[in-house]
Amino acid sequence: MNVVLIGSGNVATHLGKALKNAGYNVSLVYGRTEKSAKNLAEILSTDYTTDINKIVKHHDLYILAVKDSAIHEVCSFLQLNDKLIIHTSGSTDMDVLKNASSKYGVLWPLQTFSKAKEINFNKIPIFIEGCNKEVVIKLKKMAEQISNKIYETDSEERKIIHLAAVFACNFTNHIYSIAEKILKKNNFSFNILETLIQETAVKALQNSPAKVQTGPAIRKDIETIKNHLDLLQKYDVSFRKIYKEITKGIQTLDNPDK
C-alpha cells in the first residue's frame, strides 16, 4: 500500500514511522516548509515536496496530518477522485474531506506527540471512522497493525473524546505549568513534584478521580484556602481565578461517595 503523508509535524512524524515499521510504503511527504518536509522524508527514506500541486493521484492512501485549522484549506487543493483520504484530527468532522475524494475517513490517534520523543504506538487508542463500510474495514485493518486499541466512533463522539482529552492533557499540563511557575519564583525545582504527579495520575486511573480527591478544597479547610489565595496575589491574576473555580468545582462535584 502506497501512502502519501500530507503534513510533516508531530502526528505525521510518529504516524509515518509507525506505518513504515508496519510495512507500509510511505512514498511521498508533503510539508509546508522545505526543512520539515525534508527532515521527515529522510527519517522515512522517501521523497518530499513543498508544492501541494505535485501530490499526484496514483497512490493508495492520502493521510492528511496537518493542523486542524488547515485541513479545510489543504483539502481544497486536492482532487483525488476515488482515492482514499483520511485525516487524523480529533475535533474535525469527517465530512470536511468530501470535496477531496469520494472515499474518505478518519484515523485519530489519542496521544500528545513531540517530535523529539519516541513513543510506543502499540498502546495508543486509535479512533476510526469511514464514509462507508469498506473504508471502515480498511482503516480498522491498518489501525490494528500499529495499535492494540481500536475504537469505531462517529465525528460527534470523537469531538466529545477530544474535549475530554483537552482537559486531561492540555489543561492538566497548564496546571503543572502554574505549579512550576510558583516553585521557580521561589527557587525550587519543578521536579520535587515528580512522585506526587505520578502518583496522582496512577491513583486517578486505578480508581475514579472524583472518588480519590484530597486536599484543602474537599476537606473544606477554609483557613488553608484563604492562605493560598493570599499567597497567590504575588502571581499572575489567572492563578487565583483558576484556584477559585477549581476549588468550587471540587466542593460541589467531587465526592468520595459519588
What residues between 2 and 31 interact with a copy of itself by CB under 8 A? 10
Q: Which of 43, 52, 150, 197 binds a copy of itself (CB under 8 A)?
A: 197
256 touches a copy of itself (CB under 8 A) = no
Gap between the Cα atoms of 55 and 50, Å rounded? 9
Q: In what order do the strands lie in the sheet with 126-130?
A: 47-49, 25-30, 2-6, 61-64, 84-87, 104-109, 126-130, 150-152
Count of residues near a copy of itself by CB under 8 A: 91
47 binds a copy of itself (CB under 8 A): no
Q: For residues 62-81, which are near a copy of itself according to CB under 8 A?
A: 67-69
* Under rule CB under 8 A, residue 199 binds a copy of itself: yes
Please report whether residue 178 would count as binding a copy of itself according to CB under 8 A: yes
Report in angstroms how near the CB of residue 100 gets to a copy of itself at its nearest. 19
Residue 85's closest CA among 69, 71, 54, 70?
Answer: 71
Cβ proximity to a copy of itself: between 22 and 70 the closer is: 70
Contact (Cβ atoms closer than 8 angstroms) between residue 101 and residue 132: no
18-26, 34-42, 56-64, 189-197 -> range binding a copy of itself (CB under 8 A): 189-197
User: d(Cα 13, Cα 37) in Å, to the nearest integer?
Assistant: 10
Exactly one of 54, 57, 141, 248 binds a copy of itself (CB under 8 A); that residue is 248
Cell output for 249: 468545582
The percent of the chain in helix, strand and coil, each rounded to the nearest 5, is 55, 15, 35
